[in-house]
Amino acid sequence: MAKEFDVCVIGSGPGGYVAAIRASQLGFKTAIVEKRHLGGVCLNIGCIPTKALLRSAEVYESIEHASDYGINVKDYSADFDGIVKRSRGVANKMSKGVQFLMKANKIEVFMGTGVFKSKSELSVNDDKGKEQESIKAKHFIVATGARPRQLPNLEIDGDMIIDSEKAMQLDKQPKKMVIVGAGAIGVEFAYFYNAIGTEVTIVELQDTLVPVEDKDVGKELGKIYKKKGMNVMTGSTVENVKKKGKGVEVTVKTKKGEEKIEADVVLSAVGVTGNVENLGLDKAGVKTEKGAIVVDKKTYKTNVDGIYAIGDVIGAPWLAHKASHEAVVLAEQLAGENPHPVNYNNIPGCTYCEPQIASVGLTEQAAKDEGYDVKVGKFPLSASGKATALGHEEGFVKVVFDAKYGEWLGCHMIGFGVTEMIAEAVVARDLETTGHEIISAVHPHPTLSEAVMEAAAEAYNEGVHLGTPVKKK
């Protein structure tokens, strides 16, 4: 006999578990179905463990450059097994935290694969496809996330060609690695492996690294990565990968012709696609399109009454914080409240390589393409007293304003710690703050965050720290 709930969430990532908690807080009898790990990809094999790996790389680099700070360190080395072990420990701790939250909020957890039997009933199956439980609910929320996308000529086999999950827990550190795709995942792993001594080649189809970012950011990261000793191949594609000895030979097509690169392993980081298969969505009548569930982006309703979807499974941007925000909005809507809808024009993106990248809003080119007359300000961190004192002078803060009304159209940062700085721009844009209001807001000195104010001042020709001649009005 089917168990009955008000809300049943399928998937326990940052979208799913947040939806379940908020629904329970609002008085709904709530269940959550998870086939693998509570916390989903982000907590277990994504956001959190990769940040732990990156932190180890940062510490290693700090020790490597200790003499720059007047400190002498001898006999240090990277313990790859120890680094991976710490990363897994961090992930496991966070996953246990989600277990606690489920119990504290009286949410019933069903471990298994959720498959729709109809639009009003869900089967929870074991790994052999045998039904363990049956669930009926007034509201089903699909939050099954996404997985790495595969290219036809770059099929992931877990041996020669690996995905991000495998890359964060390899048995041994590769001497040489080719990374295909220079989005957030690609450049984060490139930084990690390069920092601890792996010879890294990055192959990217577009002309700059992190191609979704402002072009100035991508160019800057490319320069820095080349300086770190990485082989950066933009405007290039991987034609094929074949086994050679104990490693692989990668054929890369560049603007100058083909080039062959030998490596121990290839990491495919060419994006993600939604987990829409094997959920019984066809039996429920739920519409999908290009690897994503089709929803109304204000209500998260699918084409079937009583079935909703949030997070990566509904498409870009594939970000944990977007999924969590959608989860709260949806749960509150189901409770009859009137929450502010998600503002998809004001969702920040963060990349945790070193230097870090953070952005929100329109790039300079996108703003121009939309017809804005723009004011652009750029403040290099080499002119920041705090950045200089920290020994991290690479990067800049770039701001884009509408010349007519002063609207803050976009903010783009690359540098040490900038992922902790972007929230100022997000909040300011939400409050419709103008450029001059940012300039007049007193920023503490010395801090990295004052670079935001300095960039705004440069946009309006009011900067004082770059020696730029003032134009007469």
Binding site: which residues?
51, 114, 181-188, 204, 271, 312
SS3 state at 194 = helix
Binding residue ranges for FAD: 51, 114, 312
- Residue corresponding to tokens 């723009």: 374
What residues act catalytically? 445
Binding residue ranges for NAD(+): 181-188, 204, 271
Q: Are 26 and 331 in contact (CB under 8 A)?
A: yes
Cβ neighbors of 168 (< 8 A, separation 6 or more) are 45, 49, 50, 53, 84, 87, 189
Q: Are 466 and 377 in contact (CB under 8 A)?
A: no
**What's the CA gap between 381 and 281, in Å, rounded?**
50
